[in-house]
Amino acid sequence: MISDDTLREGMQAPGIAFTVNEKIKLATMISDAGIKKALVSYPSAHESEKYVTQEIVKRGIFKDVYGLGRTLKSDIDEIYSTGANISLHLPFIIKDINTILENIRYASRLCRKLEVALVDIDQYTINDLIKISRLIHDSGADIIQIPDTKGITEPNKYGTIIKRIKNEVKTSLEIHCHNDYGYSIANAIEGLKNGADYVDASVFGLGERNGITDIAVISNYLNNLGKTSINMEKMKTLYSFMHDLITEKAGQQFFYDNIPVFGKNINYNTAGTHASYGNIFTGTDYSVNVYTGKAMIRNILAINNLNLSDENLNLLIKKIKDLSSDTGMVLSAEEIIKLAGDLN
């Protein structure tokens, strides 16, 4: 089954932000094309993310709606309060596996569908991946996501990883393949061939840096195999709408910049969780919207020789997120510096 990630992962594409109304419009069009499962938000990031999740759930736009969060009880509670199913991601560096597993068990007791993602699988051996996957499964996860977070795992290797985990841990697997080096569709196909049950995809492959698997491409592939019945005419209409939306927000240049290998989007970070791990994600440019975090804003301020108290930093981040949510636009460094200056 295809799991749409346009509304969450797509918000991490450089230059892209969506208003609540845009998210609901996109969700409706994605659903009309035949997609039944979607990850739509990161509720702990901003009240707009929480609200749009509640609206998508209330309107019954998708059969299965998920909100994303960290393996923290506070994030789990935020997702649960929206009525959505729960999607969690492990930290990039695991320091306390026992607390993580305890919180996964807590989420599993809430009686919602629960998926849990490992992060940056390239840092682990296959035996470690199997061990962690088994621990997650035994803690109550219904689906385990195996993401090629940096987009560097070659297709044959990725397929082998999925096959080994599927054979060793009897659970549903979801694949999430980034496209930094153009491997996303090949990895998605290899993952599906080797036992994956779900594949993440987005419109135009929108996502962090150069994005993830393109939903039209993987839909066409699965349709041809007779495994899905996605309406490609409605998908085409969706792509036309999204093309205009991207052009309005980020300009026509976005499509060139998003090319794998040498497109400059490879250097951008949007997610606050990514910016916090500069030793893992080496991109030096930032796209700032409701998914920004303290580490990212501190870095932008430091580059411009500015420093704010913790209180003012929190106020600045709230202003940034409110503006981005209201306008559906990312904020430039100049706009952030001006907002910071108003707080000094």
Q: Which helix (H) or strand (E) holds 307?
A: none
Each residue's pLDDT tens digit, 248-278: 999 999 999 999 999 999 998 775 454 443 4
Each residue's pLDDT tens digit, 155-184: 999 999 999 999 999 999 999 999 999 999
Q: How many CB atoms lie within 10 A of CB 105?
A: 14
Residue 167 shares a structural domain with residue 306: no
Residue 154 shares a structural domain with residue 294: no
Residue 318 covered by a domain: yes
Rounded average pLDDT over 147-153: 96
Residue 88 shares a structural domain with residue 111: yes
Please determine, for residue 223, whether its predicted confidence score (pLDDT) is greater than 90: yes
Q: What are phi and psi of 202, to 5 degrees?
A: -145, 160
The per-residue pLDDT for 341 is: 87
Rounded Cα distance between 141 and 53, Å, is 21
- Point out the domain boundary residue: 193, 222, 253: 253
Count of domains observed in the chain: 2
Each residue's pLDDT tens digit, 276-315: 434 433 445 788 999 999 999 999 999 989 989 999 999 9
Helix axes 97-108 and 126-138, enclosed angle (nearest 10):
40
Residue 236 shares a structural domain with residue 269: no
Residue 81 shares a structural domain with residue 145: yes
β pairing state of 37-41 and 114-117: unpaired
User: Percent of the chain, pLDDT > 90?
Assistant: 91
Dihedral (C-alpha) 26, 31, 35, 36: value to the nearest 10 degrees?
Answer: 120
- Which residue segment(s) compose the domain that 332 sits in? 264-343
Q: What is the pTM of this model?
A: 0.94
Q: How many CB atoms lie within 10 A of CB 297?
A: 23
Each residue's pLDDT tens digit, 5-31: 999 999 999 999 999 999 999 999 999
The token pair at 255 is: 């499509």
- Point out the domain boundary residue: 230, 253, 276: 253
Q: What is the CATH number of the domain that holds 170?
A: 3.20.20.70
Rounded Cα distance between 274 and 115, Å, is 20
The per-residue pLDDT for 261 is: 95
The per-residue pLDDT for 284 is: 57
Residue 132 shares a structural domain with residue 277: no
Each residue's pLDDT tens digit, 135-146: 999 999 999 999
Residue 258 covered by a domain: no
Residue 164 shares a structural domain with residue 287: no
The per-residue pLDDT for 73 is: 98
